[in-house]
Amino acid sequence: MKKITVSAPAKIHLLGEHAVVYGKPALVAAVNLKLTVVVSSNGSKNNSYDLSKIIEPIIKKEFKIKTIPKYKLEISSEIPVGCGMGSSAAVSAAYIAALLLFLNIPWDLDLINKLTYEAEKVFHGNPSGADNSTIVFGGLIWYRKEMPDLKIIQKLNFSIPKKLANNFVLVNTGQPKESTKEMVIKVGNLYKEKPQIVEKFLLEQEKLTRELLFVIKESKEDELIWIIRQGEKNLESIGVASSYVSSIIREIEKLGGAAKICGAGGSTKSTGMLLAYHKDPDKIKEAAKKNNLSCFQVDLGVKGLRVE
């Protein structure tokens, strides 16, 4: 029996979400929440997954093949769905990678990333490609889309220093009512109606993302807190953080920390995962508890896609 197991990490935007759709840089980290896909020749073809209807045509088109031999597909995941942690990119990447190996196509991360981007287009309409690139290559990714066919995907040669890494906490505000696609369209509409607001957001977010790179590398804690606060303020200016979530973030700021939405966000109530930072992470845990929200600490900058 042939059995291929591939795992993918989650991702979190340290900064640059939404701006990255407009050609600005994003700094994104792979996170140690695991999604696993098993493709095996065991049993009859299990096509109860709608995902197969998206992934198989992408592979057939790329390799000009008409049929794919029968296989069984199993998916298990620790990544919360629709919470800004790249669950869709993770499942597509792991599935594509496993199916390619099943078809005896050699392991090629660039190819897997390219095909995962095609799947992301089906999910999100106009994705930047940052999510799939981070999940596939892992680590800390500096991502910038210059043109549809030219993307800078730079895996950084340093990791987040321990002093900083241990003080990040993820706070789950719940799955947003709005999809990533809807939030990206919302920002696009704002750009048409009030271009000056989005232009200002883009310029400031680019500056902050560049500063963040330096601040992380040099392990500058006070500056990191300042950048997360400013980055969040900018995200709020384009309407991707609901008032419910903004007020929780204000509480964390009052305690001396910082927090931001991650990924597309939401405008009604929940916005998915918050990335929070405090010199004493217990303070964030207290704030989360007070608001009846779950929170947890993760490793940032972990390995990307791999065969188990």
Q: Which residue has the tokens 């109530």?
A: 269
Q: Which stretch binds ligand PMV (CB under 6 A): 12-20, 110-118, 132-140, 253-261?
A: 12-20
Decide: is 271 part of the binding site for ligand PMV (CB under 6 A).
no
The one catalytic residue in 108, 131, 222, 299 is 131
Of the residues 4, 18, 54, 275, which one makes contact with ligand PMV according to CB under 6 A: 18
Contacts of 149 (CB under 8 A, 6+ apart): none
- List binders of ligand PMV among 92-131 (CB under 6 A): 124, 127-128, 130-131
Query: DSSP labels for 194-224?
Result: -HHHHHHHHHHHHHHHHHHHHHHHTT-HHHH
What is the closest distance, in whole angstroms, from the C-beta atom of residue 9 to ligand PMV in the complex?
13
Helix or strand holding residue 188 (H, E) = helix 180-193
Minimum distance from CB of 128 to ligand PMV (Å)?
3
Cα(265)–Cα(1) distance, integer angstroms = 43
Other C-beta atoms lying within 10 Å of the C-beta of residue 122: 16
Alpha-carbon span 232 to 212, nearest angstrom: 13
Question: Whose Cβ is closer to ligand PMV: residue 86's or residue 139's?
Answer: 86
Give min distance, CB of 238 to ligand PMV, in A: 10
Residue 180 lies near ligand PMV (rule: CB under 6 A) = yes
Assess 304 for contact with ligand PMV (CB under 6 A): no
Distance of CA 97 to the CA centre of its chain: 18
- As measured in angstroms, the least distance from the Cβ of 180 to ligand PMV is 4
Based on CB atoms, which residue is closest to ligand PMV, 128 or 172?
Answer: 128
User: Any residues with CB less than 8 A from the CB of 233 and at least 6 apart, and which?
Assistant: none
Residues paired with residue 28 on neighbouring β-strands, in sequence order: 13, 141
Number of H helices, E strands in the chain: 10, 10
The Cα–Cα gap between 30 and 79 comes to 12
Partner residues linked to 27 by β-bridges: 15, 142
Question: Taking CB under 6 A as the criterion, which residues in 136-175 touch ligand PMV?
Answer: none
Among 4, 6, 10, 21, binds ligand PMV (CB under 6 A): 21
131 is catalytic: yes
Q: Of 113 and 128, which CB lies nearer to ligand PMV in the complex structure?
A: 128
User: Binding ligand PMV by CB under 6 A: which of 25, 84, 139, 301?
Assistant: 84
Catalytic positions, please?
131
**Interface positions with ligand PMV (CB under 6 A):** 17-18, 20-21, 84, 86, 124, 127-128, 130-131, 180, 184, 263-264
